[in-house]
């Protein structure tokens, strides 16, 4: 899909992009939140494509089979295999896999939805934080503000190892950004 077509589709939907994109978005873990609707991937993918973000997300390798794999790959899906490794006999965690992917690629924005579901959750999954810490990569704060119909990326958070302080910064950023269904979005109660 060309950028002009993506821009047209976004504009016809009434959406705009916040043009203030941090340079760190070229190599980071990027949060996609709030995640309350299946429409989120459509608007996020269009926005990130127009912004030139090298967006990728992990998915079980079984989903990458033909014909579905063609679509998933075009959207940025990277099939991962979590079978035990031949050298260690241990099964790698998603955190380790994401950190390894960040280490292998100069330009990559690994998208995560830490809420883990479109249903309301009081606790976010924090593997993204530990993957960024392990890889020495920033966490960029991607968002879809349905009230303003604006997509963008906020300032990066560099993980320090103090998860409580770092997650508080992340919660503060998302505190006033409504999803498509605001009643389904919740900050992580441990850090809010």
Q: Looking at residue 89, what is its pLDDT?
A: 84
Q: CA-CA distance, 91 to 83, in Å (whole number)?
A: 6
Q: Looking at residue 85, what is its pLDDT?
A: 80
- φ, ψ dihedrals at 121, nearest 5°: -135, 140
Using omega within 30 degrees of 0 as the cis cutoff, is the peptide bond preceding 68 cis? no
The alpha carbons of the chain give a radius of gyration, in whole angstroms, of 16
Average pLDDT on 146-163 reads 96
Question: For 52-177, where are the alpha helices, taking DSSP H only?
Answer: 68-75, 94-104, 127-135, 163-174
Domain ranges of the chain: 3-110+120-136+148-178
Contact 21, 51 (CB under 8 A): yes
Q: CA-CA distance, 157 to 159, in Å (whole number)?
A: 6
Q: Residue 113, exposed/middle/buried by CB under 10 A (0-12, 13-18, 19+)?
A: buried
| Whole-structure pTM value | 0.90
Among 21-30, 65-74, 114-123, the least confident range? 114-123
Average pLDDT on 159-180 reads 96
Q: Looking at residue 42, what is its pLDDT?
A: 87
What confidence category does residue 117 fall into, taking pLDDT thresholds of 50, 70 and 90?
Answer: low
């Amino acid at each position: 899909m060309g950028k002009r077509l993506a821009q047209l589709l976004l504009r016809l939907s009434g959406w705009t992009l916040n043009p203030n994109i941090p340079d760190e978005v070229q190599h980071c873990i990027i949060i996609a939140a709030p995640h309350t609707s299946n429409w989120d991937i459509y608007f996020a993918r269009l926005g990130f494509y127009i912004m030139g973000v090298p967006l990728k997300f992990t998915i079980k390798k079984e989903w990458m089979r033909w014909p579905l794999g063609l679509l998933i790959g075009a959207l940025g899906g990277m099939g991962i295999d979590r079978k035990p490794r031949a050298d260690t006999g241990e099964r790698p965690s998603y955190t380790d896999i994401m950190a390894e992917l960040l280490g292998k690629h100069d330009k990559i924005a690994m998208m995560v939805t830490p809420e883990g579901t479109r249903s309301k959750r009081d606790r976010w999954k924090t593997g993204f934080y530990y993957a960024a810490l392990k890889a020495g990569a920033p966490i960029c704060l991607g968002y879809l503000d349905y009230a303003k119909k604006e997509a963008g990326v906020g300032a990066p958070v560099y993980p320090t190892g103090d998860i409580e302080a770092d997650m508080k910064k992340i919660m503060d950023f998302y505190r006033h950004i409504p999803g498509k269904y605001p009643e389904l979005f919740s900050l992580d109660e441990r850090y809010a």
